[in-house]
Structure 1
Amino acid sequence: MSAADMSSDDDEDVEAAERRMKREMAEMSKKDPDFHKYLQENEGNLLQYGEGEGGGDSGDDGEDANMDAADDDDEAAAAPGKKSRGRDDDDDDEPRDNRPILGVSLLRAMERSAFRGHSAKGLKKVVSAYRSACHLSEEASGDDAGATRAGYRIDDSAVFDRLMLVALRGCHVEFRRHLLGEETKKGGKGDKDDDADVTAPEIDENKPVNPKLLQRSGKWDELRTYLQLFLRSSLHLLSEAKEPALLSFVLKSLSPYVPLLTPFPKLAKSFLQTLSKLWSAPLDTSEEYQVVRLRSFLRVRQLAVTQPFPFVEDCLKSSYLCYARRAKFGTAASVHSALPTLTFMGNCVVELYSLDYASSYRHAFVYIRQLALHLRTALQRRTPESLRVVYCWQYVHCLRLWAAVLSAACASATRGGDGGGGGDEAKLMKSLVYPLTEVILGTARLVPTARHLPLRLHCVRMLQQLASSSESFIPAASLLLEALDLREFRTRPKKVRAGKSDAAGTALRLPVVLKLPRDTALRTSEQVDACLAEMFVLLNREADLYRYSPAFPELSVRIVQRLRHFSKEVQGGKDGG
């Protein structure tokens, strides 16, 4: 049987079911006029069964509507008006859900119509059912609007799972077919087995779709509302869903739909806000949610690549602000929870800022300048509040992030501009290395005390990272040599009791420490040994960075002389290691 004959038979079945339903409604108006009047006043959409679902179906009666009629159970469920009125008067005020129930057979009919018969009317019905599935949380919470919304009622979890699967995997194929004229590349199994998953065509999901191509389509006026409805329903589902497995599946399935957001810039911004919240969510640090975090970032990156300029700047701004807010929780107390997540988010921001260096330069300039203004305020006022703004984990994490961003840009400029808009734009980002270096040096020297020695070591690591990537000389060794002048290194350490060993820093981990305890800063042998060992490692790395430089003899001589003098000061290195 040809596809045209199949579509014609299905149209006749659907029209017969609609005519039968209208006859039943007419008979009910004669047998029970009171209830019919109630429906006209409160549930008028039920008396218009089959006359356009979700708005816009009336114009599809002449098109191919490859949808088989549902079985007797689904037809009975689709006729809520036939239920008896044997209720108490107290129940008349309660809202009733009179939408048709979506059963297995009706869902299969929708699948055949939309994905095998390529019917626009069938696609609209699938989108309408998908919208109902995305708003199930409102119905469960007793929302009256959710009960009276046009669409379907879904009572079976298996139907819900099947609907989400076929809608998310197949609707983008039909939207592209109807609006862009792209043919579907299906396997043989998908043409023979009704229960087989819809196979999507191989498309470049990172390729932008020109909105003018969509708007010039002959079916744009007809399907525009349904495409927007599908995207809004998906956005609502992402906002309301709590299960990591469901969020992960939806985020992965939305990949082919992101290029279709180009005609809806406001909706794209709403997607960016929701995806950024999922990406930076601070509440859930479980392993399952890390998959959600990763796929949220992949969709944000896809938005930055596919949406028209200047949407990429919105992505850059949103990602950095989310990282800065999340950086408040990246402390030593959360080393096993927040710090791994923050490291992952930092790598994501570096990836985003490597997409378009022209846009990244403008944002990096503004945010590095903002850090410099905070530092200038601390230098001028010297108040506890102004110093606390600089000497905190959030400020240090932001400095570390920009060091990583500029290091990636310098590496790209060295390679000749792989990605990011070209080598010239990467060199433009490289010009920000100098102001960032000045900010880091100022931060390290802001309060040169023994208590803040770990922060100075953090700054030295950042400077060495910038020096290595930019292939320029940055005097980080001076910060380490200046630290050797602290008088705490030349005094005898205190003996710590066994009960206070933990508080005194027996297991001191400098990479996750910002400052030492106020009363015992560099006063225990454990702290002194840990700090000196880290300083010698950084000095060794400093010498390794410039070992091929013509100025290496002058640099190394200064370091060797200072270390010899320090060794004599601490009695031949006995106490200082």
Structure 2
Amino acid sequence: MNIKSKGKPITKRLSTVKKSNLKTKKKKSGAFRPQTNIKVKNFEPESDSAAEEAISEMRAKYVKKKATSSKNASPKGFARPRFSNNEDISDSDDAVANGADAEHTSDTDNEEFMSNEMSLKKMGELPPELDMSDSELSDDEAEDVHKPPDELEVASDETDDETVPEPPGLVTLKMVEEWREKLKTDKTSSTISCVVKAFHGALNRVAAEEDKTAPSLRVVGSSVFNAVVQLCVLELQPAIKSFLQLPPGKRIPPHKCKKWVKIKTTLKCYLADLLKFLSAVTSEHILSVLLKHLHQMIPFVTNFSNVTKGLVKKLVELWSCGEETIRVLAFMCVLRLTTSEQKSLLDKVLKMMYMAFIKNSKFVSPNTLPAVNFMRRSLTELYNLDENISYYHVFLYIRQLAIHLRNAITVQKKENRQAVCNWQFMQSIHLWTDLLGASVNKPQLQQLVYPLVQVSIGTIKLVPSAQYFPLRFHCLEMLIELSANSGVFIPVLPFLLEVLTNFDFNKKHKKVSMKPLDFTCILRVSKGQLQENGFKDAVIENIYKLLLQYMANESHSIAFPDMTVPAVIQIKMFLKNCKNPNYCKKMKQILEKIEENAHYIEEERKKVSFALSDKKAVSAWENGIKLQGTPLAKFYTSWNKMNIQQLAKKATDNVKLGDYNIPVIKKPVKSTAGDDDGPVELFPSDESDADEFFGAEAQSKKKRGKRGSKKQQNPKTETKIKSEMKIKPEEGEEVEDIVEDFEFSESE
């Protein structure tokens, strides 16, 4: 087949093809992309057989080039060869040398054919024999092609009825029961570790901040959660003791057991989780259960210092801010923890508890007073554990109190006075008086009695006005208790009698109060309260109480007659000047008791044969008189019992019965003025009692109309009044009891 040439030599035509290839390479590197601006020239071969041969040869050539170089593939799957200069020249030279002009087309014709083929490809009119996009792929490429399966699987409708297997690591109630049985019999630590992991999963479920690492066991559902917590609280501690083979009667440190290494890490994780759980719980019932369990686990807690620090902080917080039962349980845990590790923990625990006590005693009210008293008494017990550490703490804090008092005395400013006259300062003094009074057998702490007494007396003298009489009475009461417990003589009488001489009880009051003021939760009274009669009543009550208490404590002293001479003189002066009979009655009674006790001591002193310089003989004589009982001490004990009952009645807000509930009277609803036709009630109001006693007077008085004229009363209204005044029912009538039935509880 002869193909017409364009009249140009072969070398020139090859150079034009080379230049066109270089232009396309400069535009974009990578696979060859044909130019879109090439004009398509249609050509018709001379015969169909020659065209088919040429096309077959070109196809074989293209397939060969594609197999050798996969990088030159067309974007749409059409294989295009990438000719180099040497290959083009060699092919063209071979074609010219062999004279195969009829069998091979020229390069120009090839270019025209390829452009024509691409245009047809875009138009979708390429013949099937020229389409080489997917049919002529290699074997390796054919294997990578995805082929859909012949038959597709369809989900059946019966899958809903089948039971879904539980995911691995999910805790069930059945597993919890199995662990409960294994904890009693298993001698290895595998069951204990499983229970600890389950508790960690349960904690991770309710914790606010989840761990980054997912737990190996997951707890889903409230029933499973409660079962896991109950298992740990009830069964874990006995299982650990049996695993470590700890004898029940002896106290052996757990870290000295042979199997401690096997369970150490597991136990540390459990205690850390228990502390997190304790911090997250707010329910009082759950807190009490966890604290009881923690009290059992304290021998294991002391082996982990990191857990112990966090636990002490949480326990001190519960001790200072929790409810009554929570406070007691937290203190029991702290006490056991400090006694087991006294050398390393006692100092830190005392500092933390003292700061928490001062922080929570800033405001004292009838509601918070029991909690403050509990903290003070429990802290006193902890300070009595070690005398050396306690002396350091007490000396340091009494010195701080003295510094505050010195600043208030020297500067004389309101801020400095407020730093002394507050509840935190007073509760601190109260704490140290209780401690020094309870540590009589510890001579090292008894050396601090004198500075504490000086601080208390300085506080009394700081503001001697009548507004601060409550503060004075609080300080004097603490000094009287310290003197009674420690056996040290403290001059309290001058500060009590000073109130009787300096304050004018004859001054008329401007306001009237029904009840006397209660100084229990008051340090300072206002100017308005000073003008009430209740203030004077409260002052006399407190003086009577403190005088009687102090004289009863000193009633067995051999110097009692001489010591009470100034008090007797000032009380007699008060009785001479005071015009209030109620106040005089109280002071006269205590004066008689003092004189009676002084006469008794004088009679007993006449029988003494030893010298007053013999201290041992004097103390023995005083102890004998104290055991026999003095008249003033006997009177004080009987009065104190009555006073305690009165305080209990005030606490229950009940005048008649302090320990029982009184019956309640039902008040029927009053009928309106328009209900004249309804039945008459038996007791329409509380005024029926007055009508019963003053019925004749009510009948004698009649309503009057206008002035100067009298209206005759209607007989119907007269019968109605008589029926209302009738209290006792007639025969045959039944009257319901208006008093509710009441029962006393077993606790009462």
Answer yes or no: same fold by TM over 0.5. Answer: yes
Which of 147, 165, 168 is equivalent to 1:76?
165
Displacement, 1:298? 0.6
Distance between the aligned counterparts of 1:558 and 1:155, measured in 2?
79
Displacement, 1:223? 1.8
Pair 1:293 & 2:327 matched: yes
Q: Which has the higher contact order (CA 8 A, sep 6+)?
A: 1
Alpha carbons of 1:384 and 1:519: their partners in 2 closer, same or farther (altered >3 Å)? Answer: same
Pair 1:123 & 2:192 matched: yes
Pair 1:344 & 2:374 matched: yes
CA contact (8 A) 1:239 1:274 kept: yes
Partner of 2:522: 513
Displacement, 1:308? 4.5
Partner of 2:340: 306
Partner of 1:394: 424
Deviations 1:223-259 (Å, cap 9, x if unpaired)?
A: 2111111111111111111111111000011122101
Displacement, 1:449? 0.4
Letter in 2 for 1:303: L
Partner of 2:553: 545
Letter in 2 for 1:182: L
CA contact (8 A) 1:104 1:159 kept: yes
CA contact (8 A) 1:135 1:237 kept: no
Distance between the aligned counterparts of 1:381 and 1:278, measured in 2?
39
Distance between the aligned counterparts of 1:125 and 1:569, measured in 2?
84
Distance between the aligned counterparts of 1:551 and 1:77, measured in 2?
88
Alpha carbons of 1:540 and 1:217: their partners in 2 closer, same or farther (altered >3 Å)? Answer: closer
Distance between the aligned counterparts of 1:354 and 1:429, measured in 2?
10
Displacement, 1:572? 8.0
Displacement, 1:547? 1.4
Distance between the aligned counterparts of 2:185 and 2:273, measured in 1?
24
Partner of 2:692: none
Displacement, 1:351? 2.0
Which of 289, 292, 295 is equivalent to 1:249?
289
Secondary structure class of the residue paired with 1:527? helix
Letter in 1 for 2:226: D
Partner of 1:145: 211
CA contact (8 A) 1:135 1:236 kept: no
Which of 458, 462, 468 is equivalent to 1:446?
462
Alpha carbons of 1:156 and 1:553: their partners in 2 closer, same or farther (altered >3 Å)? Answer: same
CA contact (8 A) 1:528 1:576 kept: no
Partner of 1:225: 265
Partner of 1:384: 414
Distance between the aligned counterparts of 1:116 and 1:78, measured in 2?
28
Displacement, 1:150? 1.5
CA contact (8 A) 2:575 2:584 kept: yes
Distance between the aligned counterparts of 1:515 and 1:317, measured in 2?
30
Deviations 1:142-181 (Å, cap 9, x if unpaired)?
A: x4537x52232222323222222221233233333444x3
Letter in 1 for 2:345: F
Secondary structure class of the residue paired with 1:406? helix
Distance between the aligned counterparts of 2:357 and 2:195, measured in 1?
38
Deviations 1:314-354 (Å, cap 9, x if unpaired)?
A: 22222211111110121xxx31x211111122221122222
Pair 1:173 & 2:238 matched: yes
The percentage of counterpart residues that share the same residue type is 28
User: What TM-score do the two structures reach when normalised by structure 2?
Assistant: 0.54
Secondary structure class of the residue paired with 2:564? helix
Aligned pairs (5 A) from 1:452-467: 452-467=468-483
CA contact (8 A) 1:450 1:486 kept: no
Letter in 1 for 2:556: Y
Letter in 2 for 1:561: I
CA contact (8 A) 1:114 1:121 kept: no
Deviations 1:344-398 (Å, cap 9, x if unpaired)?
A: 2222112222222332222222222221221111111111111101101121112
Alpha carbons of 1:115 and 1:574: their partners in 2 closer, same or farther (altered >3 Å)? Answer: closer
Displacement, 1:465? 0.3
Pair 1:406 & 2:414 matched: no
Alpha carbons of 1:408 and 1:308: their partners in 2 closer, same or farther (altered >3 Å)? Answer: closer
Deviations 1:295-314 (Å, cap 9, x if unpaired)?
A: 11110111111125131122
Letter in 1 for 2:227: R
Partner of 2:537: 529
Aligned pairs (5 A) from 1:89-108: 100-108=169-177
Secondary structure class of the residue paired with 1:328? coil
Secondary structure class of the residue paired with 1:508? coil
Deviates more, 1:355-364 or 1:300-309: 355-364
Partner of 1:570: 578
Secondary structure class of the residue paired with 1:439? helix
CA contact (8 A) 2:302 2:337 kept: no
Deviations 1:253-285 (Å, cap 9, x if unpaired)?
A: 11221011222123212111000111111xx6x
Displacement, 1:408? 1.5
Distance between the aligned counterparts of 1:475 and 1:444, measured in 2?
13
Alpha carbons of 1:477 and 1:151: their partners in 2 closer, same or farther (altered >3 Å)? Answer: farther
Letter in 1 for 2:370: P
Alpha carbons of 1:182 and 1:451: their partners in 2 closer, same or farther (altered >3 Å)? Answer: same
Which of 312, 315, 320 is equivalent to 2:354?
320
Letter in 2 for 1:544: A
CA contact (8 A) 2:171 2:219 kept: yes
Distance between the aligned counterparts of 1:404 and 1:237, measured in 2?
36
Letter in 2 for 1:314: K
Aligned pairs (5 A) from 1:137-286: 137-138=206-207, 141=208, 143=209, 145=211, 148-179=213-244, 181-182=245-246, 202=248, 207=251, 210=253, 214=255, 216-281=256-321
Distance between the aligned counterparts of 1:541 and 1:476, measured in 2?
11
Alpha carbons of 1:120 and 1:468: their partners in 2 closer, same or farther (altered >3 Å)? Answer: same
Deviations 1:480-533 (Å, cap 9, x if unpaired)?
A: 1122232433x5122326xxx48xxx4411222211113442x33221121012
Distance between the aligned counterparts of 2:236 and 2:355, measured in 1?
34
Aligned pairs (5 A) from 1:355-504: 355-410=385-440, 413=441, 426-489=442-505, 491-496=506-511, 501=513
Distance between the aligned counterparts of 1:354 and 1:154, measured in 2?
46
Distance between the aligned counterparts of 1:163 and 1:157, measured in 2?
10
Letter in 2 for 1:435: P
Q: CA RMSD in A?
A: 2.4
Q: How many residues end up aligned between the 2 structures?
A: 424
Displacement, 1:551? 1.6
Distance between the aligned counterparts of 1:267 and 1:254, measured in 2?
12
Secondary structure class of the residue paired with 1:280? helix
Alpha carbons of 1:507 and 1:446: their partners in 2 closer, same or farther (altered >3 Å)? Answer: same
Deviations 1:404-463 (Å, cap 9, x if unpaired)?
A: 1221112xx2xxxxxxxxxxxx22222222211111111111110000011101111000
CA contact (8 A) 1:316 1:352 kept: yes
- Unaligned stretches of 5+ residues in structure 2: 1-161, 586-748
* Structure ID, larger Rg: 2
Distance between the aligned counterparts of 2:580 and 2:189, measured in 1?
87
Displacement, 1:553? 1.3
Letter in 2 for 1:548: H
Distance between the aligned counterparts of 1:301 and 1:217, measured in 2?
25
Alpha carbons of 1:149 and 1:528: their partners in 2 closer, same or farther (altered >3 Å)? Answer: same
